[in-house]
């Protein structure tokens, strides 16, 4: 089957609901603070943190709220604002309502329709390279981090990553197994070889992640996005296809599916394979949103079920619209490819590693660094 040319890779816009007017929350907060202040005149808190005898239950509740608020720092509010895009007052309220739990506060904002970005991830800024090595019906993808992109462009570092990927292919694919395996060029373990490279290149490096896929019959197709060399780049994808058919045709459709995975980052191959914790979290948010709409319980439940079906359709690979031919789903595209392969095809597994994914780089003030250096 002739490989179709892929359109430029695009990524889903995962922007969330718009902010509510900050004035609304400002006035609400002002009124709440005013009421609390007036009540405190009649029911002051003692120096020991206890309420005087005869204080109403509402006063006790306000005391608990003040104790929670005292644990909410400006740094926590700032972090939540950066992650959610919500206003300061909304972030303070969300943290207070969730006892300072950052993830729960993000969900609270989403449920209230306040968060601008439902799944806005932290800044991903680790440098280095992704490496891929492939064999007969197996392949592995590894991530090796460095401190700067300058080192990532270093030929010695690139050779090191390629060598680690080759070594990883002969292991079970776990980081521990790869680190303990012998690196042929040095005769030492991969871990010790990395330590030697740190001394030579002068920058810290780490083998952070690795995934290996294999099949009994079929192929493990690969794709490297933003490639800087053979099997080296910034985003690597593996797609395991089980089939008794023609391997060249399998690799052709496998590479196209791998390009799709690079573009859309599905959570699983099939809806039933989506992590249960992630699905439950989404359901909780949808349920809270449905309750906020004021709909009867029966209708709210149907709304949640409809949104969950859409959620699974969007995050499961086989039900997504194929980026190379949007008229088909990925499942339909694979089915059509069976004509060229000459046998049924099963998408067994996928793996996708993006450089620095989930790692937050420490921000620095370059001007301050220069000034500090000048001072000696």
| CATH number of domain containing 95 | 1.10.8.10
Can you tell me the distance from the alpha carbon of 345 to that of 245, in angstroms, rounded to the nearest whole number? 8
Tell whether 36 and 98 lie within a shared domain. yes
Structural domains counted in the chain = 2
Q: How far is CA 181 from the centre of its chain?
A: 29
Tell whether 103 and 148 lie within a shared domain. no
Tell whether 194 and 92 lie within a shared domain. no
Tell whether 131 and 73 lie within a shared domain. no
Tell whether 65 and 32 lie within a shared domain. yes
Cβ neighbours around 347 below 10 Å, total: 20
295 part of a folded domain: no
331 part of a folded domain: no
- CA nearest neighbour of 220 among 108, 351, 125: 351
Tell whether 48 and 135 lie within a shared domain. no
* CATH code for the domain of 185: 3.30.479.20
Last residue of a domain, one of 209, 235, 255: 255
Which residues are within 8 A (CB) of 212 and not within 5 positions of it... i.e. 6 or more apart? 138, 139, 140, 141, 168, 169, 171, 172, 173
Strand 346-354 to 218-225 pairing = unpaired
7 part of a folded domain: no
Q: Which two tokens stand for residue 159?
A: 């050779």
Q: 296: buried, middle or exposed (CB in 10 Å: 19+, 13-18, 0-12)?
A: exposed
What residue ranges of the chain have pLDDT lower than 70? 1-70, 113-125, 360-376
Tell whether 188 and 85 lie within a shared domain. no
250 part of a folded domain: yes
pLDDT at 26: 34
Last residue of a domain, one of 41, 76, 111: 111
Reduced to 3 states, what is the DSSP secondary structure of residue 268?
Answer: strand
The tokens 């000048």 sit on which residue?
Answer: 374
Stated pTM of the model: 0.62
Tell whether 165 and 226 lie within a shared domain. yes
The domain containing residue 36 runs over which residues?
22-111
Q: Are 163 and 189 in contact (CB under 8 A)?
A: no
Q: Which uninterrupted H or E stretch holds 25?
A: helix 22-42
Last residue of a domain, one of 255, 287, 318: 255
71-84, pLDDT tens digit by residue?
889 889 888 887 77
Q: Taking the CA atoms of the chain, what radius of gyration do you get in angstroms?
A: 27
Tell whether 197 and 245 lie within a shared domain. yes
Reduced to 3 states, what is the DSSP secondary structure of residue 21?
Answer: coil
217 part of a folded domain: yes
191 part of a folded domain: yes
Which residues are within 8 A (CB) of 329 and not within 5 positions of it... i.e. 6 or more apart? 318, 319, 320, 321, 322
Tell whether 134 and 97 lie within a shared domain. no
Tell whether 168 and 250 lie within a shared domain. yes
Tell whether 51 and 27 lie within a shared domain. yes
The tokens 């993006």 sit on which residue?
Answer: 354
Phi, psi of 303 (to 5 degrees): -60, -40
Strands (E), the chain: 127-135, 138-146, 182-183, 188-189, 205-214, 218-225, 232-233, 235-242, 321-322, 325-329, 346-354
151 part of a folded domain: yes
152 part of a folded domain: yes
117-166, pLDDT tens digit by residue?
343 333 333 799 999 999 989 999 999 999 888 888 999 999 999 999 99
């Amino acid at each position: 089957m002739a490989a179709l040319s892929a359109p430029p890779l695009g990524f889903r816009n995962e922007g969330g609901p718009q902010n509510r007017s900050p004035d609304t929350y400002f006035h609400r907060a002002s009124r709440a603070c005013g009421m609390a202040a007036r009540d405190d005149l009649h029911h002051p808190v003692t120096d020991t943190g206890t309420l005087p005898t005869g204080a109403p239950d509402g006063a006790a509740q306000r005391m608990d709220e003040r104790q929670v608020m005292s644990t909410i720092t400006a740094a926590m509010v700032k972090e939540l604002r950066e992650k959610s895009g919500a206003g300061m007052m909304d972030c303070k309220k969300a943290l207070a309502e969730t006892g300072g739990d950052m993830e729960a506060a993000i969900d609270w904002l989403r449920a209230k329709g306040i968060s601008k970005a439902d799944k806005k991830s932290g800044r991903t800024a680790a440098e280095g390279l992704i490496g891929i090595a492939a064999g007969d019906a197996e392949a592995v993808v590894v991530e090796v981090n460095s401190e700067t992109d300058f080192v990532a462009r270093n030929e010695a570092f690139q050779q090191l990553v390629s060598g680690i990927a080759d070594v990883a292919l002969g292991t079970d694919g776990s980081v521990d197994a790869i680190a303990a395996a012998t690196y042929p060029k040095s005769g030492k373990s991969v871990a010790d070889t990395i330590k030697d490279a740190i001394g030579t290149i002068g920058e810290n490096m780490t083998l952070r992640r690795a995934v290996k896929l294999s099949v009994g019959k079929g192929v493990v197709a690969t794709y490297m996005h933003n490639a800087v060399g053979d099997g080296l780049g910034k985003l690597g994808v593996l797609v395991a296809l089980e089939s008794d058919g023609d391997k060249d045709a399998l690799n052709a459709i496998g590479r196209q599916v791998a390009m799709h995975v690079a573009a859309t980052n599905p959570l699983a191959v099939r809806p039933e394979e989506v992590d249960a914790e992630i699905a439950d979290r989404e359901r909780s948010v949808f349920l809270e949103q449905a309750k906020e709409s004021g709909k009867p319980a029966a209708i709210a439940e149907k709304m949640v079920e409809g949104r969950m079906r859409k959620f699974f359709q969007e995050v499961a690979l086989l039900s997504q619209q194929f980026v190379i031919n949007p008229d088909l789903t990925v499942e339909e595209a694979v089915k059509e490819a069976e004509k060229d392969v000459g046998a049924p095809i099963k998408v067994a597994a996928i793996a996708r590693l993006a450089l620095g994914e989930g790692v937050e780089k420490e921000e620095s003030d370059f001007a301050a660094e220069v000034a500090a250096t000048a001072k000696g």
